[in-house]
Amino acid sequence: MSAVNPAFLDELEAYGENAGALCFNCGTCAAVCPLDGGHFPRKMIRYAQIGAVDRIREESRELWRCLHCGLCTQTCPRGANPGEVILTLKRLFAAEWRKS
């Protein structure tokens, strides 16, 4: 079991305009992502929504597989801009690394 922490979305907003709050988890992004297979990028967005930052950290290398091709953003039915959420998460970790 993991505890949910919605405050993470607020923190994340410092790194980008879109932190994924709008996503209603339809799965379009995961299905169109050229990285094929798995739940990416919805997985990351969902973890962000529930504040499972440890999960994102554990799997953070996944973020850099993203091609930034934008197909998920183009097809997102909720205008949740999944591509931008991934970029925002990249920025969060890149900033952390830079500090360390």
Partner 1 sequence: MSDLKQTASGGQPASGCPADEARIGVYICHCGGNISDHVDVEAVRERMEKMPGVTVSRTNMFMCSDPGQESIMEDLKSGLVNRVVVASCAPSLHETTFRAAIARAGGNPYQYEHANIREQVSWVHHGAPATDKATRLISAAAGKARLLTPLTPIRVEAQRRALVIGGGVAGMRAALDLAAQGVRTDLIELSPYLGGGLARLDKLAPHGEDAAGIVRELAGNILSDPLITTHCQARLTAFGGYVGKFSVEISPASRTARAQEAAPGAFVPGKGVLGPAQAPGAPERFDAGAVVMATGFSSYAPQKGEYGFGDNAEAVTLPRFIEELKNAQTAPDGMLRLGSRPVRSLAIIHCVGSRQIPGVHEEGPSGHLNEHCSRTCCAASINAALTVRKTFPATRVYELYRDIRTYGRGQEEMYAEASAEKVTFLRFDVESPPEVVRVNGQYPLEVRVRDELTFGENLELPVDLVVLATGMEPAPIRDLIDMLKLPVGADRFLLETHPKLRPVELPVAGVYLAGTCQAPMDAGEAANAASSAAAKAGALLRRGFVELDPFVAEVDPARCKGTGACVDACLNEGALRLQETEIGGEKVMRAVVTPALCLGCGACAAVCPEGAINVSGWTLEQYEAMVDMILSEAAFAVTADESVSASPEPAEAAV
Partner 2 sequence: MDAQREYAREYAFDAVVIGGGIAGLQSALDLADQGYKTAVVEKDASIGGKMIRLSKVFPTLDCASCITTPKMAAAAHHENITLFTYCDVNEAKRENGRVEVRITQRPRYVDMDKCIGCRKCEYACPVLVPDAEQGGFSGRKAIRIPFSNAIPQKAVLDVANCMLCGKCASVCPTGAVVYGQKPESFVIKADTAVLATGFELNSRLDKPQYGLGQIPNVIDAMQMERLLAPHGPYGRVLRPSDGKVPDSIAYVQCAGSRDASMGVSYCSRVCCMYAIKQAMLLSGALPLADITIYYMDIRAFGKNYEQFYQNAKAMGIEFVKAKAAWLDAGENGSVAVRYEDQLEGGAATREHDLAVLSMGMLPGWSPRGVCPVDVAGDGFLKTLRPKTNPSLTTLEGVFTAGTAAGPKDIVDTITEAGGAAMEAAKHLLSRQTGGVSLREADHE
Partner 3 sequence: MYEPKDIIAILANNVRKTMSPFGIPKSMVNGWWKEESLPRNGETLLVTGLMYQLVPFIETATTWLARYEDAKWAEYLPYSRFVPPRLSGLGLAMITPAEAKRKAAGHLKNIVKAMRASGRRFGYQPELDEYSGILLYDLGDQEGFVRHAKRVAARLKGAGVTSIVTVDPHTTYALKVLYPKYADASFEVRAYFEDLNLSGAHAGETLSIHDPCFYGRYLELSGASRKALGNLGYACADARRSGLFTSCCGGPAESISPKLASRIGAKRVEALGGSGERIVTMCPICLHNLEKAGADVTDLSTVLAGGLKTA
- Which positions lie near partner 3, rule CB under 8 A? 15, 34-35, 60-61, 63-65, 67-71, 74-75, 87, 89-95, 97-98
Part of the chain binding partner 2 (CB under 8 A), chosen from 2-10, 28-36, 59-67, 82-90: 28-36
Position 50 contacts partner 1 (CB under 8 A): yes
Q: How far apart are CA 54 and CA 68, in angstroms?
A: 23
Position 91, amino acid: R
Give the residue, chosen from 43, 53, 91, 93, that forms a contact with partner 1 under the rule CB under 8 A: 43
Q: Are the CB atoms for 91 and 20 separated by under 8 Å?
A: no
Helix axes 82-99, 42-50, angle to 10 degrees: 70
